[in-house]
Copies of this chain bind each other. A is one copy, B any other.
Amino acid sequence: MFQEELFARLVEAGLTDARVAHTHVTAYIKADGSRLTELAAQARMTLPAMSELVDDLQRLGIVERRRDPTDGRAKLICLTDAGWEAMGTARRAILAIEEEYADQVGADRFEAAAQTLDELLRALSAEQPRRDTR
């Protein structure tokens, strides 16, 4: 529901190739680059799954893989210029939808619910940290 609305807006804004799974990268990627292992753990998915997502975003020119200067095995997933731009329009779209939601139930209640859920998620994440990355 939220996703349908978001992706409709992204298409309007010209981001026709955006897919839902991409958010698993864009939600966690750091400004100076993230390792695949980091991203997979934060998104709670396996390395192969995250690798495929990064492949796709690389094909679309949103991210690029750079060699990690501190570790020859690792790669840093970084946003490209086009990636930063896309992040900006996505963020604006999300804020607009959140505003609509806040209008439906009252800004104070929406804010409170969001806060509660965020806290709950953090508490549960702390209990059961990452997935098994054997």
Query: Which residues does A use to contact B, with CB under 8 Å?
Result: 1, 44, 101, 104-105, 109-110, 112-113, 116-117, 119-121, 123-124, 128
Question: Which of B104, B117, B121 interacts with A123 by CB under 8 Å?
Answer: B104
Tell me how many chains of this kind the complex includes. Answer: 2
A105 & B101 in contact (Cβ 8 Å cutoff): no
A119 to B101, CA, bound (A): 10
In the complex, chain B residues whose CB is within 8 Å of the CB of A121: 1
A86 to chain B, nearest CB (A): 26
Question: Which of B105, B110, B120, B128 interacts with A105 by CB under 8 Å?
Answer: B120
A123 to B112, CA, bound (A): 18
B101 & A109 in contact (Cβ 8 Å cutoff): no
